[in-house]
Structure 1
Amino acid sequence: MKVQREAGTLVELTTETIESLKESPLFNEDLKPVPISQRTWNVRHFASLWIGMAVCVPTYTLASGLINSGMNWWQAIMTVFLGNAIVLIPMAMIAFAGTKYGIPYPIFCRASFGSRGAHLPALLRAGVACGWFGIQCWIGGQFLNVALTQSFDFWNDLDKQWVYVFDPNKETDRAIAEVSTAYKALLKSKNAVKNLKQEIAKLQAAKGDDLAKKEAELETAINDSMTFQAKFSESKRYVISLGMVFSFLIFWIINVWIGYKGAESIKWMETWGAPILIGIGGILILWAFYVAGGIWELFKATDRPNEFLGGITFVRIFLPSLNGMISFWATLALNIPDFSRYAKSQRDQVLGQVIGLPATMGFYAFVGVCGTLGSIVVFGQAIWDPSELLARFNSPILSIIGGFAIFLATITTNIAANVVAPANAFSNLAPRIISYRIGAIITGIIGFLIQPWKLLSEPSGYIFGWLGTYGSFLGPLAGLYLADYYFIHRQRLNLKDLYIPNTGKYNFRYGINWIAFIAYFLSVIPFILTLKFDLGISGRNIQENSWTIGLVLSFAFYAALMKLNRSSITSKSEYQEITENG
């Protein structure tokens, strides 16, 4: 019986099969294979998707860590570009399954982990995404609050009303009093700086004798202002203003709403947002060239010609840095079928990702380098944080433009990277009850409940370490998927059986493919050992290369162990029997 139809390189369920699956507990309209007629994403859409995701504050600051570790600017850019070019290989290969069969990530997981076992990898990916969703919403809310505070007096008043304290070691009244006192001192110091600048301008015009004295006073006042700024930032760490509450809620609602609208809304947002983000990056580069007096003058500040070339020192810095760049988007390599299922062809998804991912990551790391070097020329110090750079200009117009740019960059990253995967994963938990839209709302609620303001307040950066470690457990999944789809199934899947419980060939035993679980846990053991025991240099090497090591081990373990169970395999002759051409 023909259950699926193949047109070129794309496969869809037949109308009769769809009707027969409508009562299945594993099937709903959001998880079903996308009909070929609705697969409309082309090269431009995939390139725009990646531009929207890649342009974000972490990308802007990527090169800073590499330069601080000893690289020069072009070595840092090269490492960013190369790492993303490498991760693109497994990403595009996993995307092939989504494009060919039109299935989202949780359904793709059923082929290897089983109809019930697929919940584990899907929820692992969802857990990371929910954490980052909340954090990105808080970060986006902060930039929105800065822009609104500098644009509207009433919002500026709201931002001075401290309403919430979450430091358990401080009483509410005392904490609010501290931040209020620090704010008043900061405001007073800023006014002193402003007045001194005006006096100096008058003395310069009149060639007054007190010019040198006033300039010395100005330098002292600026240093005092920076000290008060640091005290204010520290006292504000555990206190939230009313303006920040509203800014976070506005940004959170916008993110949830766009995610709720689904794939077409995301496609629209990424498509029009991409050229704006690229244009803003180009403007920042031109500004840096202008203030430095030219391209080469700008890069002389950090250029270290031939310092590491051919040396073992560079290799020791380069290899762990490269692994870090590979891991940056490694989670998206897993759930890329969530997007590639909408591709018109394999060419569209591959070429779009080739254009959009490594080039954009390299370009915006370059934007970050230029912006920071420009800050050295103008302000006398390297400012890697774009929000701090905006604040230094002390211009409402620039704050609005820059705030909008960061707002757009954060939202395009957050929706695509952190909403789609968990929404589909939650829908897969109970397809008859939870739709994609309900899954998107659940994602937003969890992102709120994790209280990102608390997570980001920790000076140790614990949350980023936790998410980084958590992400390392996702690496072996990529190798397992590659082994399953290309080595075990030979790219031949029975679409109908992916949605049939109990009797389908992907049910395995009680809905779980225990071989996949064994292969996965064997692959993460080396990394777990490095967390539990001090293994010296060997342990550090495993941690620094955890994604690559996990991928290779899981591929090998799964490919070898699956020889014990061939029941899920669709032979070439069986594939021809269930597939009609045309």
Structure 2
Amino acid sequence: MTIPPGASPQLYNEDLAPAKERNWGAFSIFNVWTSDVHSLWGYYLAASLFLFCGSFMNFLLAIGIGSLIIFFLMQLVGLAGVRTGVPFPVLARASFGIWGANFPAIVRAIVACFWYGAQTAAASGAIVALLIRNESLLQFHQSSHMLGHSTLELICYVVVWGLQLLIIQNGMETVRKFQDWAGPAVWVMMLLLAVYLVVKSGGFSFSHTIPMDVLLEKTKNAGVPGVPGSLAALAAVAAIWVTYFSALYLNFCDFSRYCPSERSLKVGNLWGLPVNLVLFSLVAGITTIAAYNVYGEVLLHPDQISAKFDSWFLALVAALTFAVATLGINVVANFVSPAFDFANVFPKHIDFKRGGYIAALIALALYPFAPWEGGAAHFVNMIGNTMGPIFGVMMVDYYLIRKGRVDVDALYREDGEFRFENGWHVNALIAAGIGIVFSSILPGLTSVMPTWWGVYGWFFGVAIAGAIYYALRSFRSARPYPA
């Protein structure tokens, strides 16, 4: 492998180097999104958002608009990955400085650790729902507890947690191979689940919906403005759907850098995002309605539905498929990023595998506290809003300041263009810091902002941080940075 001229061992290792093998074609990029969306948490969020829409047409409209926005944003960061070939924390050096990039890298890594735990808990929950169909295991589940959870839940969590570590033993190529079959597999199971429930309910019509009094009861404490079906609720649904992908807006270049061309990126994103997202959401909506018609209650978790199956075999297939799919999103969205992010902090001592192990250990330590338990919409907004300001700074820097041109070799040099103020770019840190105050801190920890602000916190973070960064860069454009 060719080392960039003048590369510092404090900034470079083999995992952080520009990609040389580019074999992630359109199908692999498509499956990044099937792996990312087709999970228990993805279904849970889609089904939860369905309740705010009041009808299928409203749901498809809100999700469709949100999915188009997601496609546009992923293209922005994805193109940067194709053109530079570098992972997210290295690309962040262009805007935050060679050492300052550790700030967005650590923030992204911490968010990934939270999501890693949430997805692992969802996958293990599917296994628990299957096991407690057995009377003795149900009794064990109800009577034995450890660390704030049932002992059975703890055992399943640790087992699923350990299985994920096996997937990344051979690096990114193993990740690609795993996601290429895990993503499509859950599509098959989702369709089977929907067909099973529609047949059991005696048929289906798009005009069917859940009664308004039930929708109001289920959504009253979700923090989403407006009643189900109102314009305010639909706008919030689209915003929450966009925010759900906030972490991957930052590190999608971790995957797109392996693309052989911009065209393969666009084709993979087109099929994997607006097309796939709308179809997946449609199936989630159909399943939610059919489950209500069959069981007389709103069931937002697939494992809650599969637990009610008369057939133990069908319940087994459903539980295993959803568990595998959830492992897929964890590896794609919540293992790869912190693996690179932690490696970026200490390249000489931490490689891809060790970075991933650190993330997994943090997720394990978080399990007793389970910060992901609660409403899906609230959790997505709380976690996602911190990502907006960083994204705003990076995209303004790459497209408006640098016009899409970055000296890749300089990203690995201590004395190059991206040294700024002793390795830290104060402009970027100020802009991101102010953005985080308005996107996360004020709406999350105080009552200063209006109640609806948090729903759109990610967008405010992007706009505020991006505007401040552009203003600061324009003001200092004629002034040299100190060494």
What TM-score comes out, normalization by structure 1 length? 0.74
Check conservation: 2:10, 2:348, Cα contact below 8 A: yes
Question: Deviations for 1:186-227, whole angstroms, at most 9, x for unmatched residues?
Answer: xxxxxxxxxxxxxxxxxxxxxxxxxxxxxxxxxxxxxxxxxx
Check conservation: 1:73, 1:302, Cα contact below 8 A: no
Report the counterpart of residue 542 of structure 1 in structure 2: 453
CA gap of 1:146–1:313, structure 2 versus 1, over 3 A, is: closer
Secondary structure at 1:534's aligned position in 2? coil
* Aligned residue identity for 1:28: N
Check conservation: 2:40, 2:119, Cα contact below 8 A: no
Secondary structure at 1:540's aligned position in 2? coil
Verify: 1:33 aligned to 2:23, yes or no: no
Distance (whole Å) between structure 1 residues aligned to residue 44 and residue 144 of structure 2: 32
Secondary structure at 2:194's aligned position in 1? helix
Name which of structure 1's ranges 331-340 and 380-389 shifts more when overlaid on structure 2: 380-389
Residue 315 of structure 1, aligned match among 222, 226, 231: 231
Question: Deviations for 1:534-567, whole angstroms, at most 9, x for unmatched residues?
Answer: 34xx623432222222212222221221124449
Distance (whole Å) between structure 1 residues aligned to residue 369 and residue 433 of structure 2: 32
Secondary structure at 1:454's aligned position in 2? coil
Check conservation: 1:63, 1:369, Cα contact below 8 A: yes
Shift of 1:359: 2.5
Report the counterpart of residue 264 of structure 1 in structure 2: 173
Residue 76 of structure 1, aligned match among 59, 66, 69: 59
* Aligned residue identity for 2:15: D
Report the counterpart of residue 369 of structure 2 in structure 1: 454
Distance (whole Å) between structure 2 residues aligned to residue 463 and residue 568 of structure 1: 46
Shift of 1:454: 3.2
CA gap of 1:123–1:463, structure 2 versus 1, over 3 A, is: farther
Question: Deviations for 1:427-452, whole angstroms, at most 9, x for unmatched residues?
Answer: 001001100111011111111111x2
Verify: 1:251 aligned to 2:195, yes or no: no
Check conservation: 2:240, 2:380, Cα contact below 8 A: no
Residue 393 of structure 2, aligned match among 471, 477, 480: 480
Report the counterpart of residue 282 of structure 2 in structure 1: 366
Larger Rg: 1
Secondary structure at 1:325's aligned position in 2? helix
Shift of 1:477: 1.6
Shift of 1:274: 2.3
Structure 1 ranges of 4+ moved more than 6 A: none
Q: How does 1:197-212 map to 2 (within 5 A)?
A: none
Distance (whole Å) between structure 2 residues aligned to residue 531 and residue 402 of structure 1: 36
Report the counterpart of residue 519 of structure 1 in structure 2: 431
CA gap of 1:379–1:164, structure 2 versus 1, over 3 A, is: closer
Identify unmatched segments of 5+ residues in structure 2.
213-226
Report the counterpart of residue 404 of structure 1 in structure 2: 320
CA gap of 1:313–1:295, structure 2 versus 1, over 3 A, is: closer
Report the counterpart of residue 84 of structure 2 in structure 1: 101
CA gap of 1:64–1:139, structure 2 versus 1, over 3 A, is: closer
Check conservation: 1:90, 1:478, Cα contact below 8 A: no
Check conservation: 2:381, 2:454, Cα contact below 8 A: no
Shift of 1:410: 0.8
Q: Matched residue pairs, number?
A: 465
Question: Deviations for 1:276-307, whole angstroms, at most 9, x for unmatched residues?
Answer: 221222222322332344442x6424499xxx
Shift of 1:357: 1.9
Verify: 1:127 aligned to 2:110, yes or no: yes
Shift of 1:568: 11
Report the counterpart of residue 311 of structure 2 in structure 1: 395
Distance (whole Å) between structure 2 residues aligned to residue 419 and residue 125 of structure 1: 11
Pairwise CA RMSD: 2.9
Secondary structure at 2:150's aligned position in 1? strand
Check conservation: 2:52, 2:229, Cα contact below 8 A: no
Distance (whole Å) between structure 2 residues aligned to residue 377 and residue 346 of structure 1: 45
Question: Deviations for 1:249-269, whole angstroms, at most 9, x for unmatched residues?
Answer: 221111122134321111101
Check conservation: 1:299, 1:373, Cα contact below 8 A: no
Distance (whole Å) between structure 2 residues aligned to residue 447 and residue 567 of structure 1: 45
Report the counterpart of residue 300 of structure 1 in structure 2: 208
Task: Give aligned-pair identity as a percent.
Answer: 25
CA gap of 1:124–1:260, structure 2 versus 1, over 3 A, is: farther
Report the counterpart of residue 472 of structure 2 in structure 1: 561
Check conservation: 1:73, 1:303, Cα contact below 8 A: no
Distance (whole Å) between structure 2 residues aligned to residue 254 and residue 67 of structure 1: 32
Q: How does 1:268-347 map to 2 (within 5 A)?
A: 268-296=177-205, 299-302=207-210, 314-347=230-263
What TM-score comes out, normalization by structure 2 length? 0.88
CA gap of 1:96–1:464, structure 2 versus 1, over 3 A, is: same
Distance (whole Å) between structure 2 residues aligned to residue 568 and residue 134 of structure 1: 45
Identify unmatched segments of 5+ residues in structure 1.
1-13, 167-237, 305-310, 570-582
Check conservation: 2:95, 2:428, Cα contact below 8 A: yes
CA gap of 1:466–1:559, structure 2 versus 1, over 3 A, is: same
Check conservation: 2:96, 2:429, Cα contact below 8 A: yes
Distance (whole Å) between structure 1 residues aligned to residue 142 and residue 125 of structure 2: 15
Distance (whole Å) between structure 2 residues aligned to residue 466 and residue 61 of structure 1: 12
Shift of 1:494: 1.2
Question: Deviations for 1:4-63, whole angstroms, at most 9, x for unmatched residues?
Answer: xxxxxxxxxx94x54753x6221100000011xx11111111001101110112332334
Shift of 1:453: 4.2
Secondary structure at 1:322's aligned position in 2? helix
Distance (whole Å) between structure 1 residues aligned to residue 376 and residue 111 of structure 2: 11
Distance (whole Å) between structure 1 residues aligned to residue 92 and residue 242 of structure 2: 22
Verify: 1:442 aligned to 2:325, yes or no: no
Secondary structure at 2:15's aligned position in 1? coil
Secondary structure at 2:370's aligned position in 1? helix
Check conservation: 2:132, 2:141, Cα contact below 8 A: no
